Amino acid sequence: MTRPIAGRAVVWSEPLTVKGAGLSSDEQNNIDIYKAAKEATVYITSTTVREDFWFGSYASRNLGSGFLINDQGFILTNYHVISGSNRIQVTLADRSQYEAVRLNRDPADDLALIQIKPKKKLPYLRLGDSDTLQVGQKVLAIGNPFGLSGTLTTGIVSSIGRTVQASERQRIDGMIQTDAAINEGNSGGPLLDSFGSVIGINTAILGGEKGGNLGIGFALPINRAKAMLADYQAGRSTERPKLGIEGYFVAGDFADALRLPSRGGLLVQRVERGSSADAAGIRPPREIVY
């Protein structure tokens, strides 16, 4: 109840009856998923020993996220989180730490499977079906952005089937685009649906000059990770077929200017030496058209 003081203005007020804030069904859904998933989301620190100009050694650290997929300590994450590392350390939600070993990797899809040897039974996440995703569907991301462990963000599936330029030489197709905030350190963490099932692995962001979030993040569909897991279970190494070309689709007026069929096609710009395309006799352009 507001009690004004003589000669002074009222600064704040309170309801006559104080009640706890009610939660909407959507808020409760977020809370339930977070409570169930945060214990299975891990913090990964990978350490690489490098040499400087004077042949001295120094340690370089890379930070990321991952998540447990079974009670045997198997963890899915991004390959770039652990690539080139000499040591992989996993920190659980209870702050206990374990050394991890690599089990399998798929650099083409930026995927890695690692394992820890836990001293107790650990909670794990169930893998969903990314083939049934729809634009507008609610998603939740859990990870360790900038080292802030156990961070939850929510959003929707903004688009599907996106192509992301992961590096100068690598593009990943078929990515999930989301506006759930993903930042540095979120890489390898789970993207969950409203049932708490993993439908993607947070992989990349479209960020500003300082690497901050602009509301455009990308996750690898979990069904791609299932293929790598199937390879591991069958004792196979994961290798993706590679054509060995770089090209662009051209059609219409642009194709006419190049004296190519206007209905469109793939214009080969570069052929990797020794690749399948090279062996098949595919060659890059030999003529410049102005």
Structure tokens at 273: 């030496």
Nearest in space to 187 (alpha carbons), one of 248, 247, 141: 141
Per-residue pLDDT tens, the chain, 290 aa: give them.
555 556 676 777 666 655 556 888 999 999 999 999 999 999 998 877 555 555 455 456 778 899 999 999 999 999 999 988 888 999 999 899 999 999 999 988 999 999 999 888 899 999 999 999 999 999 999 988 887 888 899 999 999 998 887 766 678 889 999 998 888 888 899 999 999 999 999 998 776 555 555 668 899 999 999 999 998 988 876 666 566 676 666 777 767 777 778 777 777 777 777 667 777 778 777 666 65
Q: Which residue has the tokens 């690539």?
A: 83
**φ, ψ of residue 7 in degrees (nearest 5):** 85, 0
Provide the 10 A C-beta neighbour count for residue 9.
6
- Of 214, 213, 278, 223, which is closest to residue 245 (Cα–Cα)? 278
Alpha-carbon span 285 to 262, nearest angstrom: 18
C-alpha to C-alpha distance for 53 and 57, rounded to whole angstroms: 10
The answer to whether the beta carbons of residues 105 and 46 sit under 8 Å apart is no
Please tell me whether residue 32 adopts helix, strand or coil conformation: helix
Task: Just list the catalytic residues.
Answer: 80, 110, 187
